[in-house]
Amino acid sequence: MHTVRVELGQRSYPIAIGEQLLQPEQLQVFLQDIVKSRQVVVFTNETLNQLYGGQVRKALAGRQIDTFVMGDGEQFKSLQTYQAAMDFLMQHRHNRTTCLIALGGGVVGDLTGFVAATFQRGVDFVAIPTTLLAQVDSSVGGKTAVNHPAGKNMIGAFYQPKAVVIDSSVLSTLPAREYAAGLAEVVKYGVIADADFFAWLENNITPLQQRSADALAHVIQRSCEIKADVVARDEREGGVRAILNFGHTFGHAIENLAGYGTWLHGEAVSIGMVMAARFSQKVCNLPQEQTQRLSALLAAFDLPISLSEPASVTDMLNAMGMDKKAADGRLRFVLSAQIGSAWVTDSFAADQLEDVLNEFCS
């Protein structure tokens, strides 16, 4: 087992990474000093409850353990599910000392964290991510939220978990499309922070396609290290943390306009990163060869790099206007002048953005 720490003073916490960490004996040892509450609620969906719910409950034996089973898919990361979760906690008489366990992908994790942040002004939660995307990205950093019809993750809070437990062996049962979606976020880390890591991904396409245990161990640990470092420097996204959203301004608009659940988050981000790279070519002279490298790597992982149907430029602009990075009515984008670095800017010409949108939306 490897441990990466997110250093946030009193809110610091460990990310445990390894194989078979969901075996009850291993999980019990890791959680015994973290979950101190007599009451526990496992948040999960039906499939994961059948696969791993029993193991988690066995590891937490001796406590009052309830299980909240929610729908599977981005459309269930909603205020309706949030209300149902709050009703469940009230009905089962949970109090401010309870601990929530998020057993699932990004949808389960984001919703559980938001419930934890707001139930009785905040209770403990532990993240046990079961998708690659959640393991390398959404489970780390304390962003919790639900969606609003007008925009993704518009209702939420910054609220850190007590710990994250990443069992890479669960990825063997992950559907191919979900697995590829997680690789999009992995590629993102190379673009924004580590050119050597990006090159390593280019040289290890086949092991990653085959879900090699060694390759996965490396990408999960390196991705978590990069995100932990960024979050430690800027917990609440007042500055550098925004670089983690490379491709997301475009990607969130794509998800919203298509209807939540049509595109997986990682798929929309994959298209969004190619759009951000093309935009970077125009605004800050990212070499075309590097955009081509990014597109080729994403395509090699069976990720989309263009929209499958035409879209309205006006609708895209309106959807992006709801992006959380927008400030004082002006859009801000994460751009890159070379693979391995990124920054946030609102300095661009309107026709540069419209050119990119016309290229991809037509």
The answer to whether residue 143 is catalytic is: yes
Measure the CA–CA gap between 56 and 97, rounded to whole angstroms: 19
Amino acid letter, residue 271: I
CA gap 309, 223 in Å, rounded:
32
Rounded CA separation 331/348 (Å): 10
Q: Is 11 a catalytic residue?
A: no
Catalytic, out of 19, 185, 225, 267: 185
254 in Cβ contact with 313 (< 8 Å): no
Q: Is 157 exposed, middle or buried (0-12, 13-18, 19+ CB in 10 A)?
A: middle
Q: Which position among 57, 94, 248, 324 bears the catalytic label?
A: 248
To the query of whether residue 265 is one of the catalytic residues in this protein, the response is yes
SS3 label, residue 236: coil
Find where tokens 């990607």 sit.
251
Establish whether 248 is a catalytic residue. Answer: yes
Sign of CA dihedral 242, 245, 247, 253: negative
Structure tokens at 82: 């949030």
Based on the residue annotation, tell me whether 188 is a catalytic residue of this protein.
Answer: no
How far out from the chain centre does Cα 251 lie?
13
Tell me the residue length of the chain: 362
**Residues 6 or more apart in contact with residue 111 via CB below 8 angstroms:** 43, 70, 76, 77, 81, 82, 85, 144, 146
Sequence-separated (6 or more) residues with CB below 8 Å from residue 197: 189, 190, 222, 226
Catalytic residue, candidates 77, 222, 241, 332: 241
6: its two tokens: 């997110």
Alpha-carbon gap, residue 71 to 316, rounded angstroms: 28
For residue 2, indicate whether it is catalytic: no
Alpha helices in 92-135 (DSSP H): 106-118, 132-133
Catalytic, 241? Answer yes
92 catalytic? Reply is no
Catalytic choice (162, 245, 255, 325): 245
Q: Which residue of the set 143, 162, 324, 325 is catalytic?
A: 143
Gap between the Cα atoms of 257 and 245, Å rounded: 18
> Which one of 237, 278, 324, 332 is the catalytic residue?
237
Q: Of the listed 252, 278, 324, 325, which one is catalytic?
A: 252
Out of 57, 162, 265, 278, which one is annotated catalytic?
Answer: 265
Annotated catalytic sites, by residue? 121, 143, 185, 227, 237, 241, 245, 248, 252, 265
